[in-house]
Amino acid sequence: MHIGIIGLGLIGGSIAKTLKKVHAQNSFIIGFDTDSLSAAKALEEGAIDHIATELGAEFSKCNVIFICTPVSSIDMVVEKLLPFIASDCILTDIGSTKESVMKKVEDILSGHTKKAYFIGGHPMTGSEQSGYEASTNYLFENAYYILTPSPGTPDFILFIMQKMVERLGAIPITLEPGYHDFATAVVSHLPHIIASSLVHLVKNQDGCEHSLHTLAAGGFKDITRIASSNPTIWQDICLSNKAPIKACLENYIASLTAFCQTLESEDSQAIYNFFNEAGRYRDTFQDGIKSDIAKVFTIFVDAEDEPGIIACIATLLSSHSINIKDIGIVNQREFASGVLRIAFGKKSEMEKAKHLLIKHNYTVYC
């Protein structure tokens, strides 16, 4: 497999290193970075096999190209690569915002004669560090990796990308780009803004003795770690997700104003509830409870060497509007002969599929 990686920083470098770890014999990785030192280091360490001199013909054999640059340059990279790539090449990005990037890329693709596939991606992992030096071959382990196909993305392209994400050690989740931007504004973009604003607060209120700086430890350092992130990356994220971030900020400002009033009125029960409710909800994050969007509901179906059985079952389920999240053959000793594993995104879909398959005389295990 030929893989291209444009931008060999924290995320691009980590994709290269991880693919080399899991795929070394089967992949040839071509890297490009405007910073030639990052590319040279990646080649020297064996994370990539070849450095491209430009966004050109060297990428023509790639099956998949990961665009790992700051959000504002993703569309420009697609535009430059398009004349050179194979028509069945999958282009994917890892940018932290999706709707505006995907809109720009789709405009470029629709105005071009070359028909390539583009599918948005966003690994929900990273760090406050940046650059190739900060990349690792384990960054994606057990992290959620959001995929945002557009309505025109064929199912098999989504399927290939889900498999790539799993090879990286991550958990694929499919979201609509607009929902992705709302969700990440809440859980990622707003917290980065809050972390930086807390640091500003200390900096602006500190005197020449720097005592606030000295005292800012423990919790303050925990909550502000992400304020050390790359400002160029965050400048791009804010500008490309302006509306959801503004809506979130307004909501957050309102909640702070409400707390200010609670404090002013010395409503001790309300103050207790504020901390208690947040604490109870925060505690559930450590229980490994995953939200419904990441859950997979699986059944197993006997499938003894019947030709076309996968197509038969897939057609039966889709004709009843049941979406298959994943399908594959299981070779486990607990099942004597061929068994199909079928995964669904919702429990209700799994139940519906189970009843339908039993009705059609399939043997189903849960």
Ligand X SMILES: O=C(O)C(=O)Cc1ccc(O)cc1
Ligand Y SMILES: NC(=O)C1=CN([C@@H]2O[C@H](COP(=O)(O)OP(=O)(O)OC[C@H]3O[C@@H](n4cnc5c(N)ncnc54)[C@H](O)[C@@H]3O)[C@@H](O)[C@H]2O)C=CC1
Using only C-alpha atoms, the chain has a radius of gyration, in whole angstroms, of 24
| Dihedrals phi, psi of 45, to nearest 5 degrees | -85, -5
Q: Examine residue 261 and tell whether it contacts ligand Y (CB under 6 A).
A: no
Supply the minimum distance, in Å, between the C-beta of residue 220 and ligand Y: 21
Is residue 228 a contact point for ligand Y (CB under 6 A)?
A: no
Q: Does 226 bind ligand X (CB under 6 A)?
A: yes
Specify the residue for token string 């940018």: 95
Residue closer to ligand Y (CB basis): 35 or 277:
35
Q: How far apart are CA 271 and CA 267, in angstroms?
A: 6
Residues 43-72 that bind ligand Y (CB under 6 A): 68-71
Q: Encode 293-322: b = buried (16+ Cβ within 10 Å), e = exposed.
A: eeeebebbbbbeeeeebbeebeebbeeeeb
Q: Which is nearer to ligand X, 63 or 125 (CB)?
A: 125
| CB-nearer residue toward ligand X: 226 or 356 | 226
Q: Say how many residues touch ligand Y, by CB under 6 A.
A: 30
Cβ-based nearer residue to ligand X, 174 or 224? 224
Minimum distance, C-beta of residue 359 to ligand X, in the bound complex (Å):
44
Identified binder of ligand Y from the candidate list 96, 174, 184, 240, rule CB under 6 A: 96
Three-state DSSP at 319 gives helix
* C-beta neighbour count of 40 within 10 angstroms: 15
One character per residue 229-258, x = contact with ligand Y (rule: CB under 6 A): -x--x---x---------------------
**What sign has the CA pseudo-torsion 348, 352, 358, 362?**
negative
Contact letters for ligand X, residues 182-221 (x by CB under 6 A): ------x---------------------------------
Q: Which stretch binds ligand X (CB under 6 A): 126-134, 166-174, 278-286, 333-341?
A: 126-134
Site for ligand X in 128-147 (CB under 6 A): 128
Q: Which range of residues in 31-39, 123-131, 212-220, 354-362 is near ligand X by CB under 6 A?
A: 123-131
Query: Between residues 4 and 345, which has the closer beta carbon with respect to ligand Y?
Result: 4
Binding segment for ligand X (CB under 6 A), chosen from 124-132, 246-254, 260-268, 298-306, is: 124-132
Strands, sheet with 339-344, edge to edge from the N-terminal-most edge strand: 326-330, 339-344, 297-302, 364-365
Residue 226 interacting entry, from ligand Y, ligand X, none, C-beta within 5 to 8 Å by type:
ligand X
Residue 271: count other Cβ atoms within 10 Å of its Cβ: 14
Q: How far is the CB of 31 from ligand Y (least distance, A)?
A: 9
Nearest-angstrom CA–CA distance, 302 and 178: 39
Residues 6+ apart with CB under 8 A from 299: 341, 342, 344, 350, 353, 354, 357, 364, 365, 366
Cβ proximity to ligand X: between 38 and 224 the closer is 224
173 closest CA partner among 341, 17, 47, 294: 294
Cβ proximity to ligand Y: between 53 and 363 the closer is 53
Contact 4, 65 (CB under 8 A): yes
Encoded tokens for 166: 């799993």
Query: Which of helix, strand or coil describes residue 121?
Result: strand
Residues that bind ligand Y (CB under 6 A): 6-12, 32-35, 38, 68-71, 73, 77, 94-96, 122-123, 126-127, 130-131, 230, 233, 237
Residues that bind ligand X (CB under 6 A): 96, 124-128, 188, 226
